[in-house]
């Protein structure tokens, strides 16, 4: 199901938004949606549900293979989606880390603190030495704004209850 008749990994034919008429005529049916089409499994939702910054569990769940995911992530048209999802996941994990830190501090102070700190500080990434690049600084600013907006939205929802 994930390969064509010549044994190549399916790419565009996997998605309702990118499948070609020739691929449909050849009998391929899309398996996923990139934009949340309700008839197909939303790949963005799968990515966010896995919440795996290594992307390994996502690759296995969605495509059944790390190798297939490696092929997809090299494609320019797919990189556009994946880049957005990665940024959103990073903000989500940091937000969850901050929320867990706050909850842990309110409850008993020490339990779960290191795991929450790991999430909040992106512990899965190798730390760079030296001064951050301008690109890294801008990326961090954007992430902070995204996180502040999400936390503000959460606070507003809590205030309404």
- Quick: pLDDT tens for 46-65: 999 999 999 999 999 999 99
Q: Are 66 and 56 in contact (CB under 8 A)?
A: yes
**2: in domain:** no
Give residue 123's domain range. Answer: 79-160
**67: in domain:** yes
pLDDT mean over 23-50: 92
User: 109 and 85, same structural domain?
Assistant: yes
User: 142 and 118, same structural domain?
Assistant: yes
User: 98 and 64, same structural domain?
Assistant: no
Tokens of 37: 């089409």
**128: in domain:** yes
User: 61 and 119, same structural domain?
Assistant: no
User: 85 and 57, same structural domain?
Assistant: no
Half-sphere exposure (Cβ direction) of 37: Cα atoms closer than 13 Å? 11
Q: Are 12 and 31 in contact (CB under 8 A)?
A: no
Question: Distance of CA 96 to CAs 37, 56, 93, 115, 118, Å?
Answer: 27, 20, 5, 11, 11
Total tally of structural domains belonging to the chain:
2
Is the confidence at residue 108, as pLDDT, over 70?
A: no
Is the confidence at residue 141, as pLDDT, over 90?
A: no
Which residue did the predictor score with more confidence, 72 or 26?
72
Three-state secondary structure readout of the chain: CCECCCCCECCHHHECCCCCHHHHHCCCCCCEECCCCCCCEEHHHHHHHHCCCCCHHHHHHHHCCHHHHHHHHCCHHHHHHHHHHHHHHHHHHHHHHHHHHHHHHHHCCCCCHHHHHHHHCCCCCCCCCCCCCHHHHHHHHHHHHHHHHHHHHHHHHHHHC
User: 145 and 100, same structural domain?
Assistant: yes
pLDDT band at 76 (very low <50, low <70, confident <90, very high): very high
User: 136 and 88, same structural domain?
Assistant: yes
Is the confidence at residue 109, as pLDDT, over 60?
A: no
Q: Cα–Cα distance between 143 and 28 in angstroms, integer?
A: 39
Q: Are 81 and 72 in contact (CB under 8 A)?
A: no
pTM of the model: 0.69
User: 52 and 113, same structural domain?
Assistant: no
pLDDT band at 17 (very low <50, low <70, confident <90, very high): very high
Q: Cα–Cα distance between 133 and 139 in angstroms, integer?
A: 10
């Amino acid at each position: 199901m994930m390969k064509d008749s010549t044994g190549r990994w399916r790419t565009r034919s996997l998605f309702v938004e990118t499948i070609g008429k020739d691929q449909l005529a050849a009998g391929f049916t899309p398996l996923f949606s990139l934009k949340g089409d309700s008839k197909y499994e939303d790949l963005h939702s799968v990515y966010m549900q896995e919440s795996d910054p290594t992307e390994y569990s996502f690759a296995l769940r969605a495509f059944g293979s790390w190798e297939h995911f490696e092929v997809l992530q090299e494609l320019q048209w797919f990189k556009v989606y994946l880049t957005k999802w990665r940024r959103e996941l990073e903000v989500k994990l940091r937000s969850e880390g901050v929320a867990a830190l706050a909850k842990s501090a309110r409850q008993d102070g020490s339990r779960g603190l290191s795991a929450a700190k790991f999430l909040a500080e992106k512990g899965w990434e190798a730390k760079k030495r030296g001064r951050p690049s301008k690109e890294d600084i801008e990326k961090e600013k954007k992430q902070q704004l995204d996180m502040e907006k999400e936390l503000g939205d959460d606070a507003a929802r809590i205030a309404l209850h």
